[in-house]
Structure formats: structure tokens, C-alpha cells
Structure 1
Amino acid sequence: MSKGFVGVRSRLSADEVKKLLEKLATEESYYFVRSPHAVSGICRKLPDEFSLGFEGQMFNSDRELRWKKQGSVYEALLLSGVPADLEGFEAIGKNWEYCDRAAYFHDPNEPKFPKSFVYKGKNDENIKSKNINIGQRYFQEKSTATVHFVALTIRSKND
């Protein structure tokens, strides 16, 4: 188990969420955005047609940032495997540990949704899900060993 950080930030404007995404994104970041009528799929860039949508998440090997619209503002949740000193984030508890596990995607040729699920590269091209080294990061509160959050993460090629 490794030490993790879980924090929340409230009352963000859309521009503030976009700035956070720019600050936290890496070359290996992925996005998943949801609106009331559609999902973006797993994308290497924030999809223009969804903008921030109603809610979404950005994840990479270090952290996952989730956002959700609450009226006219957004709330953000940060699940981090690296030290986080982001201004405005309020830590939720102090004793978080995490462990990484494998994750598996459904074959896009066997849709589990009304439409096939999509995976998009940086240039909006279709990519194969088997080429994305996705993992899950389980955040548990140390004193109770209860898992409270499961974040998506990018695993190294050696995992």
C-alpha cells in the first residue's frame, strides 16, 4: 500500500475546471465525459462536442480528477497517488492508502450500451482498447481498511 491523497474543491467555474485539467494533465492523460444524453468514450483529449459536459473525469498514472456540475458551478474530487498541494482543495481525511489493480474493457465489437463504446486518440482517431494500459486504483481509509473510491489510472507497460 502507498500513501494517497483525496480532496475536494467546490464552487468552480467552467474556466477554473479547464485550468485545473490543464495543470494536472500529462502526455498520457485520458478523459471520459458524460452529458445527460451521451458519453464521450475514453478519449486522449477533452472532446470539443462535450466540453465539460455534466460530469467527467481525467486520469493518468498519477491521479484522477472528477468534476460534476452543481447548478451553475462545478465540484471537483481529486484522487491522487502523488503529493497534492493544489490551492483550494480541502483534504478529506488524512490516512488514505491506495493499491493498483488491473482493469479490463469490453470488446467494442460486443456493445453493452445502446451504441458501441468508443476509444479516441489525440487526433480524434479510433484506437483499440487493448492498446490502453488502464488500471484501477483503490483508495482505502487506513484505520478502517474500507475502500471508499476506485479511480482509473494508467499502468506502466511492466505491470
Structure 2
Amino acid sequence: MKPFVGVGKQLLTVIQLQELITILATNPSYYFLRWTHTVSGIKEQRPTEKEFPMTEGQMFNQECELRWKQKSKECYEVLLLTIADNHHNFEPVGEGWRIEPNNPQIFPSYGYPAYGYRPDETRFPKKLIFPNGLDIRLKQENNNKPKLAQRYFIDNETSTVQFVALTVEEAGQK
């Protein structure tokens, strides 16, 4: 596993973005979509053409997080944070990246636990939506659901965390 951070070499149309999402999606993958007036919450269904245009969104799974941001009415800029090595359609951002935690024996999924918010959390005007198939770690229970996690991308030169990517810890990993 080699960490890679890159931006798309060109802006993508909605159709090109959907094709890229299909290429990078593994099972399970999760999506979070944003518009100026609302958010989707974390969901398991890929964005449909009807949901575009959106201001930005992201897809994440165990290997990568793909982020996109609207740059014009029909085009999106993309950023890829991955542990699945280099991708030819992306221009690398920086050269030396490491990810934390950096010990595959202790953390085989290369992820720290991430936690969702309780349904009764009052700091948001509406409750955040999480799919039933994702463990957001509100209870200490042993289940076979993928767990929400996060991965830190650290610049080797400055030792600064530059990106925090959402990821998934597969059931059975610690």
C-alpha cells in the first residue's frame, strides 16, 4: 500500500464523474452529497444524474476517498486520497506522503476510529443520516458491519497532516 494524493488532470462532466465513481467504487462504498440548501447524509447509493448539479460530494471506501467540487455549471474538479497507489488520470499533489496510523500489524485497515453523531444531537438543525449497514460506533457492540474510520495523509517533508479522509474498517479488523 502506497499513499497517493492527486487532483484530476482535467475538469470532469457529470457523466465522466459518474464513470470515475464506478471505477473507484468497491463494496462497500459510501457517499455524502452537498447542495447549497441541504446535505444527503451518508448513503450507500451512488449519486444519480437527477441529483446533479450539486456543489460538492465525496465517495469513500476502504481504499480511497474521492472528493468533487463544482467549478462551473457542468464541470467538477476531483481530488483523490488513496492507499491503492498512483492513478494515471490524476496529477500528484506533493511527493512524499505517509498515512497514519503507519503500523499495518496494529491497524491493518490503516484507519483510526471515526464516530457518527447521536440522533438526538442538538448542534445540527436536522439529524444526520447514516445507513443501517454502517457502524458509526455509538455503541460498543460486536457486529459484522463495516465501521466508520478516518485516515490521516501526512506530508513527509513537514510532518503536517494535510488531509483527513473518511474510510471504512471492514468487519473483523481492529
Task: Quote the residue 2:113 is aligned against.
Answer: 102
Quick one: distance in 1 between partners of 2:118 and 2:82?
29
Over 3 Å counting, the alpha-carbon distance change for 1:67 and 1:24 in structure 2 is same
In terms of fraction of residues, the more strand-rich structure is 1
- TM-score in terms of structure 2 length: 0.80
Q: Could you give the per-residue CA deviations for residues 63-115 of structure 1, whole angstroms, max 9, x where no partner exists?
A: 00000001131000000011132x32101112111123111111113243211
Over 3 Å counting, the alpha-carbon distance change for 1:121 and 1:13 in structure 2 is farther
* 1:82 maps to amino acid: A
Over 3 Å counting, the alpha-carbon distance change for 1:52 and 1:128 in structure 2 is farther
Judge conservation of contact 1:8–1:78 (CA < 8 Å) in 2. yes
Task: Quote the residue 2:20 is aligned against.
Answer: 20
* 2:154 maps to amino acid: Q
Quick one: distance in 2 between partners of 1:23 and 1:121?
24
What is the deviation of 1:51?
3.9
Quick one: distance in 2 between partners of 1:142 and 1:17?
30
Quick one: distance in 1 between partners of 2:169 and 2:136?
14
Task: Give 2:165's match in structure 1, choosing from 124, 130, 151.
Answer: 151
Quick one: distance in 2 between partners of 1:13 and 1:34?
17
Judge conservation of contact 1:111–1:117 (CA < 8 Å) in 2. no
Query: What are the ranges of 5 or more consecutive residues in structure 1 without an aligned counterpart?
Result: none
User: What number of residue pairs does the alignment pair up?
Assistant: 153
Quick one: distance in 1 between partners of 2:78 and 2:11?
9
Residue aligned with 2:11, SS:
strand
Judge conservation of contact 1:107–1:129 (CA < 8 Å) in 2. no
Residue aligned with 1:120, SS:
coil
Over 3 Å counting, the alpha-carbon distance change for 1:121 and 1:23 in structure 2 is farther
* 2:166 maps to amino acid: L
Judge conservation of contact 2:65–2:81 (CA < 8 Å) in 1. yes
RMSD over equivalenced CA pairs, Å? 2.0
- After TM superposition, where is structure 1 displaced by more than 2 Å over at least 4 residues in a row? 46-52, 109-112, 127-132
Q: Could you give the per-residue CA deviations for residues 105-138 of structure 1, whole angstroms, max 9, x where no partner exists?
A: 111132432111112368xxxx774455011100
Over 3 Å counting, the alpha-carbon distance change for 1:52 and 1:80 in structure 2 is farther
**Quick one: percent identity of the two aligned structures?**
39
Quick one: distance in 1 between partners of 2:53 and 2:66?
12
* 2:148 maps to amino acid: I
Judge conservation of contact 1:62–1:82 (CA < 8 Å) in 2. yes
